[in-house]
């Protein structure tokens, strides 16, 4: 499996670089604002994964779906 930081990964040059405009935005943010943005990104990622699991396994109980979301968010899907 290729890592996002693996130099042999396709389009590696685009993965590990930040847009200069985004760097400027981040520099102007306080540490608290950066943490809030990171928290919002994490919550959005959870929602995307949750929606995917619900779509993929509609017959599962909410508890089963929640457990799968946790596995995927921890990078352990397919174990």
Structural domain contains residue 50: yes
Structural domain contains residue 59: yes
CB-based contact 43:24 (threshold 8 Å): no
Distance CA 56, CA 59 (A): 9
Asked if the model's pLDDT at residue 10 lies above 50, the reply is yes
Structural domain contains residue 51: yes
Per the structure, the count of domains in the chain is: 1
Structural domain contains residue 12: no
Structural domain harbouring 38 = 31-79
Dump pLDDT digits (tens) for 45-74: 999 999 999 999 999 999 999 999 999 999
Instruction: Tell whether pTM > 0.85.
Output: no
Structural domain contains residue 25: no
| Percent of the residues in the chain that have a pLDDT greater than 70, as a whole number | 76
Distance CA 48, CA 78 (A): 18
CB-based contact 52:44 (threshold 8 Å): no
Distance CA 24, CA 43 (A): 24
């Amino acid at each position: 499996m290729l890592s996002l930081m693996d130099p042999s990964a396709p389009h590696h040059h685009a993965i590990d670089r930040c847009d200069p405009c985004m760097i400027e935005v981040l520099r102007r943010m306080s540490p608290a604002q950066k943490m809030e943005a990171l928290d919002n990104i994490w919550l959005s990622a959870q929602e995307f994964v949750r929606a995917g699991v619900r779509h993929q396994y509609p017959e599962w109980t909410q508890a089963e779906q929640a457990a799968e979301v946790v596995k995927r968010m921890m990078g352990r899907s397919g174990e």
